[in-house]
Amino acid sequence: MNYFSSDFKLGILGGGQLGKMLLFDTRKFDIQTYVLDPSDEAPSRMACNKFFKGDLMDFETVYNFGKQVDVLTFEIELVNLDALEKLENEGKKVYPSPKTLKLIQNKGIQKDFYIKNNIPTAPFKRYATLKELVVDLVEANIQLPFVWKCTEFGYDGNGVKIIRQTSDLENLPNVECIAETMVPFKNELAVIVCRNPQGEIRTYPVVEMEFHPEANQVEYVICPARIDKKVADEARLIALNVSQQFNHVGLLAVEMFQTQNDEILVNEVAPRPHNSGHYSIEASYTSQFENHLRAIMDLPLGNTESKVAGIMVNLVGAEGFSGDVTYKNIETILGWNGVTPHIYGKKQTRPFRKMGHVTIVNEDMAEARRIAEDVKNTIKVIS
């Protein structure tokens, strides 16, 4: 199929920042794009050929949208699976496949999949409701502390909570959930795997994540991770295995824990471009977004190695500010070498909302990390 400067149409479900960054590469290649998103102010709106407003969980909306395009992909997992399955059964190319998404969308099913396929993961128990979990806790069948996760609709630290005492369970929704053993880990790591329908597969270098202590959001993504080569090689091998077991096409971000004794445990996966791969736009030979496109169009995959050390700083809304967004001191950081801001185009800020990111590239990792700290302390997302 001729994808470039042709009648070929790529459909993207979701019009957030991931879609916007994916569209940068579709423009580079002159590929027609259709985007579906529930918001009139979706960041992707400015960069696609045709924008459709609609509910991503509504069967008819997703099905009718998918009928109009040649290949369908998504930048958010919360989409109507039945519509995707019907489209695929009718011969539409949907990547990643709804079969893969079905195993990932629900965290309980995802965790069961790891156990079934001998993929190392933290011990856990599944519960149909929060009430069932509370009963189990009262009867001392599970031990404090543990990590509570709702199985569906969680994102960016929402739907995840560390439970240190019984009262921490108050005000949580009475939904299906899992209680996961807390892993005393050295590092949180991630590996992005890229795979096309022919089975060509590549991994990006292991990245290390530094988290905000309160918001449970990533503050810095550091590539390459500052870990032993043996541990990094093991993480990449496990990520490759996870990808092949899921039989996924496109990008798969595999988030992991490195335990105190250097065991690698898979935390969870995301079948799409991912926050942990944003550094690749500036630091890699081929960005995660370009490789996602190459994969879903069954083209040869690009080089996933890094040209230089890269660190990404998430730009999130400052506490105490809600309303029309202002980026304070952005001109200052633009004056620094190797610093590139990405503003997502969300007009309204609120505390901890992801509004953009900044990539810092440098030959010297320590220097990149120092500049990243300066960036974090300088730029402010306020209203």
Question: Residue 263, class by beta-carbon neighbours within 10 Å (0-12 exposed, 13-18 middle, 19+ buried)?
Answer: middle
pLDDT at res. 231: 97
pLDDT at res. 187: 94
pLDDT > 90: what percent of the chain? 92
**3-state class (DSSP) for residue 30:** coil
> pLDDT tens digit string along 336-362?
999 999 999 999 999 989 999 999 999
Altogether, the residues listed in the chain come to a count of 383
pLDDT at res. 153: 77
Tell me the mean pLDDT in the region 54-82: 97
Considering only residues 211 and 49, tell me which one the structure prediction assigns the higher pLDDT.
49
Residue in 118, 121, 175 with CA at minimum distance from that of residue 148: 175
How many angstroms separate the CA atoms of 25 and 43, rounded?
Answer: 15
> pLDDT tens digit string along 248-296?
999 999 999 999 999 999 999 999 999 999 999 999 999 999 999 999 9
Record the tokens describing residue 216, joined without a space. Answer: 């449970």
> pLDDT tens digit string along 178-233?
999 998 899 999 999 999 999 999 999 999 998 877 766 678 999 999 999 999 99
Q: Work out the mean pLDDT of the chain and round it to a whole number.
A: 95
Would you list which residues are annotated within the binding site?
Answer: 107, 149, 180-183, 188, 267-268
> pLDDT tens digit string along 285-338?
999 999 999 999 999 999 999 999 999 999 999 999 999 999 999 999 999 999
pTM for the full predicted model: 0.94
Would you list which residues are annotated within the binding site for ATP?
Answer: 107, 149, 180-183, 188, 267-268
Task: Specify whether the backbone of 156 is left (phi greater than 0), alpha (psi in -120 to 50) or beta.
Answer: left
> pLDDT tens digit string along 95-144?
999 999 999 999 999 999 999 999 999 999 999 999 999 999 999 899 99
pLDDT at res. 218: 78
**Beta strand segments in 113-224, E:** 124-127, 146-150, 160-163, 177-181, 185-195, 201-203, 207-211, 218-223
Domains of the chain, first to last: 9-94 (3.40.50.20), 123-181 (3.30.1490.20), 185-382 (3.30.470.20)
